[in-house]
Amino acid sequence: MQNKSTQRVTKKRKEISHDRILEVAARAIRRSGYDGTGVADIMKEAGLTHGGFYAHFESRDTLLAEAGDRAGAESVAIASRIVAAAPAGQAIRALMEAYLSAEHINAIETGCPVSALGSEMPRQSPEVRRAATLHIKEMIDLVARQLPDWGQPQAHEQAMALLCALIGTTMIARAVDDPALSEALCAATMKQFNPATE
Amino acid sequence: MQNKSTQRVTKKRKEISHDRILEVAARAIRRSGYDGTGVADIMKEAGLTHGGFYAHFESRDTLLAEAGDRAGAESVAIASRIVAAAPAGQAIRALMEAYLSAEHINAIETGCPVSALGSEMPRQSPEVRRAATLHIKEMIDLVARQLPDWGQPQAHEQAMALLCALIGTTMIARAVDDPALSEALCAATMKQFNPATE
DNA sequence: TTTAAAATATGATAACCATCATATTAATAT
DNA sequence: ATATTAATATGATGGTTATCATATTTTAAA
């Protein structure tokens, strides 16, 4: 038996590797998709060898589930920070501008996992879909709280429609091979939900 | 050398197999994704053996490109038919209702390929992305022509925003594991772009 | 410094997949 | 009916991948 300090240090070491693998995987799935993400690639990118993977995760599937969950949680956290930093009454506009910005469109590895992985979701394991659904609901609530008529049922509806539009626009802007069209799509959605601004 | 009738018959036979493979593949990519679609599966579903595949297509990649192109062309054709069949002034509503219907949400194999494959597009070959971009532009134009202020630049913008919203909503409605949320998302987008109706 | 335990690396296995060479079957023209 | 050619089937190859058993290295305690 070991004393508590040993256990803590031991845990820490493994936790660091576990965390690094997870962080790499959270980016890899958004870059290469669930199907396109292999154990060997992730371990190499994490600076480890492929065989050691199973000391950290039960299977490739559990890693992908945890990685998706982490990506979703981080995305909600980023959105919360944008809302908190926005001037009063400007939270929605700030969220939309961040979401439809060229930086977000070009940062698929670290951006919203729904626009990066959405069309692969119907095939994923129940755990993956459950986590994704949870984070989507969190995001809807976050958006609804920033709307002028928060509390009324229509706020929730408006939040859902806005989020679907933002995610769809981002996904399509990344899908097409015509940069001018990508920009036009973002501008069109911006205008549609924010008619006041040019 | 052969006479013309022989050539025609010969072509026809191969064309039938080619076409059946393509049709199966166009459904398979929407069901299983580009990465998840294998040559052997497609050939089996087409009633042929895997090895014979290369008599019909140069490679798996060229098949996937052709299959995506066919799925996109068929989707635009379906939308055109819906528009043509709608009563005067009701084309947009008819398109939205078809797009956000439970039937379309549940028919991923035969539905809009952008919502089924959109988040895999950034990784696809130039040919695949070019064809997808083309069909998306066709769809934008089709929608714009049905808008009240067709001809003005804002019609094009409205069409882009509407399409992004419809595609995003469909994708997310399929992604989440909560049927009530799926329905609420579709209803919210319907209301947002069609405030007149309950 | 030596020992015990944890963390990681190495190498192997089995399954899967795209591709291709060759054999077989089916269809057509004489 | 037979010869010719197209279409498809069979079986093999090389590459990749998830998984795992075992060996090595690293870490911390004595």
Which residues in chain A have Cβ-Cβ distances shorter than 8 Å to B165?
161, 164-165, 168-169, 189, 192
Which residues in chain B have Cβ-Cβ distances shorter than 8 Å to A167?
168, 171-172
Amino acid at A74: E
Check whether A198 has a pLDDT greater than 60. no
Average pLDDT, chain A: 92
Of the listed ranges A58-62, A93-97, B1-5, the least confidently predicted one is: B1-5
A18 touches chain B (CB under 8 A): no
Please tell me the predicted confidence (pLDDT) of residue B81. Answer: 98
Q: What mean pLDDT is predicted for residues A37-58?
A: 94
Any atom of strand C under 7 A from CB of B179?
no
CB B133, CB B72: distance < 8 Å: no
Report all structural domains of chain A as residue ranges with CATH numbers, in order of start.
59-197 (1.10.357.10)
Residue A8 — very low, low, confident or very high, per pLDDT cuts 50/70/90? very low
> Contacts for A97-102 with beta carbons within 8 Å, 24 or more apart?
A97/A190, A99/A166, A99/A170, A100/A166, A100/A169, A100/A170, A100/A173, A100/A186, A100/A189, A100/A190, A102/A183
Q: What mean pLDDT is predicted for residues A15-20?
A: 91
Burial of A72 per CB tally in 10 Å (0-12, 13-18, 19+): buried
A15 touches chain B (CB under 8 A): no
CB B181, CB A137: distance < 8 Å: yes
Measured distance CA(A176)–CA(B170) in Å, rounded: 18
Please tell me the predicted confidence (pLDDT) of residue A51. Answer: 87
Residue A175 — very low, low, confident or very high, per pLDDT cuts 50/70/90? very high
Residue ranges of chain B with per-residue pLDDT less than 50? 1-10, 198
Residue A110 — very low, low, confident or very high, per pLDDT cuts 50/70/90? very high
Cα angle: A48, vertex A51, A54; to 5 degrees = 100
Partner residue facing B172 (CB), from A114, A120, A156: A114
Check whether A70 has a pLDDT greater than 50. yes
Burial of A93 per CB tally in 10 Å (0-12, 13-18, 19+): middle
Measured distance CA(A176)–CA(A174) in Å, rounded: 6
Chain D: nucleotides under 7 Å from a protein CB?
Answer: 6-12, 16-21, 27-30
Q: Whose CA is closest to B59, among B27, B31, B25, B28?
A: B25
